[in-house]
Amino acid sequence: MRKLALTGWACAMTLFAAAPWQQGGGVSEPARWDKVFGASEARYRTEPNEFLQRCLQRLAEERWLAPGSAIDLAGGDGRNALWLAERGFATTLIDISKVGLDKARAAATARKLALDCREADLYAFDYGVGRWDLLSLIYFNPALSIVEKLKAAVKPGGVIVIEGQGSEHEGGGPPKSTLYKPGQLLQAFADWRVLHYEDGRFESDWNLGSRTHVVRLLARKPKP
């Protein structure tokens, strides 16, 4: 979804052209995203990601995965992490926005949910090895640069759920160089079992009201 502090990316995910948190003005990345998550009216989907919901339903119905440990990358104010916690996952949320994380913590307290919120740089965070049953990567395209680290962090039999903008996406969004090219995710997960893949024009969680190029993938790590 976004670039993080100290990464050297030129710009982060934006909601629309000329957004105030785009590059420029001397504003730090955490401050830009504090502005996004602190706005009185959200300009992004505030409900849990629809593809993530579909994946969890299928995983349960087909008995691919039982609730275990989950990590949600660049999860902002917790819309997806809270939903995972409600379904029995011991969930960790990582983001660079203190405002977003504070909102997630408050929501978890109100719902009486256990949610581990970490303010961290996603590139420097220690994901461990074989630690997570589920890793969700929803609209943070630049994380593909650390995909091998993320794959190693998932337990055998665990899954990764990805949704992000594809190469034909136009307008506000992640750096052009990080847009998913045709077949790029399939290639990155060629050594895993791909349970589901979509490449088409859908409404993005961060570009509401119109269709754009979106790529989705659900993949399961092989067991020895």
Summarised one tens digit per residue, pLDDT across range 119-167 is 999 999 999 999 999 999 999 999 999 999 999 999 999 999 999 999 9
Among left, alpha and beta (phi > 0; psi -120 to 50; other), residue 195 is alpha
The two three-digit tokens of residue 97, written as one number: 């926005």
Domain covering 44-220 assigned CATH 3.40.50.150 in the classification:
yes
pTM of the model: 0.85
Q: What is the domain partition of the chain in residue ranges? A: 44-220
Q: Are 96 and 121 in contact (CB under 8 A)?
A: yes
Under-70 pLDDT residues of the chain = 1-28, 34, 38
Q: What is the largest CA-CA distance in the chain?
A: 51
In 3D space, the residue among 224, 138, 142 whose CA is nearest the CA of residue 175 turns out to be: 142
pLDDT value at position 25?
Answer: 35
Which residues are within 8 A (CB) of 60 and not within 5 positions of it... i.e. 6 or more apart? none
Would you give the DSSP letter of residue 20? T
Matching residue, tokens 């791909």: 194
Would you give the DSSP letter of residue 84? H
How far is 43 from 55, CA to CA, in rounded Å? 25
pLDDT value at position 209?
Answer: 85
